[in-house]
Chains A and B, each alone.
Chain A
């Protein structure tokens, strides 16, 4: 249904556009250009894209160019065609600039949220953990002065406290891995590689060359993506080696995680292998949030190559 309406509107617009263009050729004056602007605006609100506008222009062109022109005429007509087209595209220029602005605002917002997450994470990690430690001490003190059977009851409460502590720690880590602030990105990645290596039994090599300080958001994203990718490798790739490489290129940061495992099974990604698919989805979303792109393909001579490119603010 929706498709039909859009098609209908598109046809109607193409028709009006061709008429407008003919008017402009017959009388190259402001009213026709104002009409071009209106048509562009209408196309925009109807949900047409710039490419569709190009098609509409091109169709209108072929309809007016069927006759033959003298040489002088032809240059004149071509100029008119261009003017009319530019006029019809100016509303798109407005929106386009609007999207740039919105994008910049989103980036700033992202940084603000990241800063907030950082503060909450450190409050959870440091302050709440300290308070819990004091509670532990206080309880231990009370327990030492109770008869043994009563002290045992307190033990259960202390077990619950331990659980709370663990949960807070996990939550803090989810929000912003504290190690990023304690050690910095590259040592944090090396540490991550080591612990993955110990836990899952494949080697992880981290190689990085970064010249400038990255924003907290970019750091956290790179850390999480690497963790997610290494977890994927651990669970599915049957690899013996994973290489994490972090390179700063002109205006962007390139992060690739390559393994020598069984390689990518595209069908498994789409169908059965939910856990791997979800991990990838998360990586994709995190990358997209920073305006970056993701490539997933085979690694040479074997395994998988996941490469992420994230633009850096200029």
Chain B
């Protein structure tokens, strides 16, 4: 089913094309983050953020990739999640980051929700080229 692999220590790449792949990405994220020393509730939070960015790929770009990497600095430990697609891109990034733009009802889920769950969040997008979300969470 999902074609994903943990190609080296501390990194996992998952192709995202369907809901089944979202689960694979969540699982890889959870497994790596668990190795990285995150608490059990942080694991749920990381999986949740992965769900949101992966959902975004399935919904708007059809396909893309999620790359999960453990960060092991001398000062900080954490996990980085990059969600990249070659979809239609977003013309006005600040607009999608506003609550209620894509997910309706202003509930703060979707990309803005993922941003709130993580410690760092960047989004870059170009119309016609695709979108890349890069987010990090640190072990506390």
Interface residues of A, Cβ cutoff 8 Å to B = 29-31, 33-34, 37-38, 41, 44-45, 83, 86-87, 90-91, 93-95, 97-99, 101-102
Judging by beta carbons under 8 Å apart, are A37 and B104 in contact?
no
* Distance A44 CA – B103 CA, assembled complex (angstroms): 11
Known contacts A94-B113, A94-B117, A97-B116; A87/B108 CB under 8 A = no
A33 touches B26 (CB 8 A): yes
A–B Cβ pairs within 8 angstroms, 19 of them: A30-B26, A30-B30, A34-B51, A38-B51, A44-B109, A45-B103, A45-B107, A45-B109, A86-B40, A87-B47, A90-B47, A90-B48, A91-B113, A93-B117, A94-B113, A95-B113, A97-B117, A98-B99, A98-B112
- Given A33-B26, A34-B26, A101-B116, decide whether A95 and B109 contact each other with a Cβ distance below 8 A: yes
Closest Cβ of chain B: how far from A30's Cβ, in Å?
Answer: 4
Assess A90 versus B117: contact at CB under 8 Å? Given A30-B23, A34-B23, A37-B51: yes
Residues of B within 8 A of A91 (CB): 48, 109, 113
Q: Which 5 A-B pairs have the closest CB atoms?
A: A98-B108, A94-B113, A30-B27, A90-B48, A97-B116
Q: Are A45 and B112 in contact (CB-based, < 8 A)? A: no
Residues of A within 8 A of B19 (CB): 34
Given contacts A30-B26, A95-B107, A98-B108, contact A37 B117 (CB under 8 A): no
- Judge whether B45 is part of the interface by a CB distance below 8 angstroms: yes
Asked if B94 is an interface residue, CB under 8 A from chain A, the answer is: no
Picked from A37, A99, A102, the residue with its CB within 8 Å of the CB of B47 is A37
* Neighbour of B108 across the interface among A83, A86, A90, A97, CB < 8 A: A97
Apart from A30-B30, A45-B105, A90-B44, list 4 A-B contacts with CB within 8 A. A30-B26, A33-B26, A34-B26, A87-B44
Q: Which chain A residues border B114 with CB–CB below 8 Å?
A: 94
Please give the distance in Å from A102's CB to the nearest CB on chain B: 8
Task: Kindly report which residue of chain B lies nearest to residue A82, judged by CB atoms.
Answer: B40
Interface of A is mostly: helix
- In the assembled complex, the Cα of A31 lies from the Cα of B30 at a distance in Å of 12
CB of A98 within 8 A of CB of B113, answer yes
Nearest-neighbour CB distance to chain A for B137, whole angstroms, equals 13
Asked if A86 meets B113 with Cβ closer than 8 Å, knowing A30-B26, A44-B107, A98-B108, the reply is no
Q: A33 to chain B: which residues have CB within 8 Å? A: 26, 44, 47
Q: A264 to B16, alpha carbons, bound, how many Å?
A: 65
Contact of A94 with B48 in the complex, beta carbons under 8 Å: yes
Nearest opposing residue in chain B for A47, CB measure: B105
Assess the B104–A45 pair: CB atoms within 8 A. yes
Q: Find out whether the CB atom of A86 lies under 8 angstroms from the CB atom of B41.
A: yes
B22 is an interface residue with CB less than 8 A from chain A = yes
Cα-based distance from A257 to B45 in the complex (angstroms):
46
Which residue of chain B has its CB nearest to the CB of A32?
Answer: B23
Separation of A30 and B20 alpha carbons in the complex (Å): 10
Measured between beta carbons, the chain B residues less than 8 angstroms from A30 are: 23-24, 26-27, 30, 47
- A106-B51 Cα distance, complex, nearest whole Å: 29
The smallest beta-carbon distance between B59 and chain A, in angstroms, is 13
Closest to B99 in A: A98
Within 8 A of A (CB), among B6-53: 19, 22-24, 26-27, 30, 40-41, 44-45, 47-48, 51-52
| Listed residue (A41, A86, A90, A97) with the most chain B CB atoms within 10 angstroms of its CB | A90
Contact of A86 among B44, B104, B112 (CB under 8 A): B44
A95 to B19, CA, bound (A): 22
Note all chain B residues with C-beta closer than 8 A to A101.
116
Closest to B29 in A: A30
Contacts of B104 on A, CB cut-off 8 Å? 45
Bound-state CA distance A90–B113 (Å) is 10
Chain B residues with Cβ below 8 Å from A34 are: 19, 22-23, 26, 47, 51
Interface residues as binary, B47-77 with A (CB distance below 8 Å gives 1, 0 otherwise): 1100110000000000000000000000000
| List of B residues within 8 angstroms of A94 by Cβ | 48, 52, 108-109, 113-114, 116-117
Residues of B within 8 A of A90 (CB): 44-45, 47-48, 117
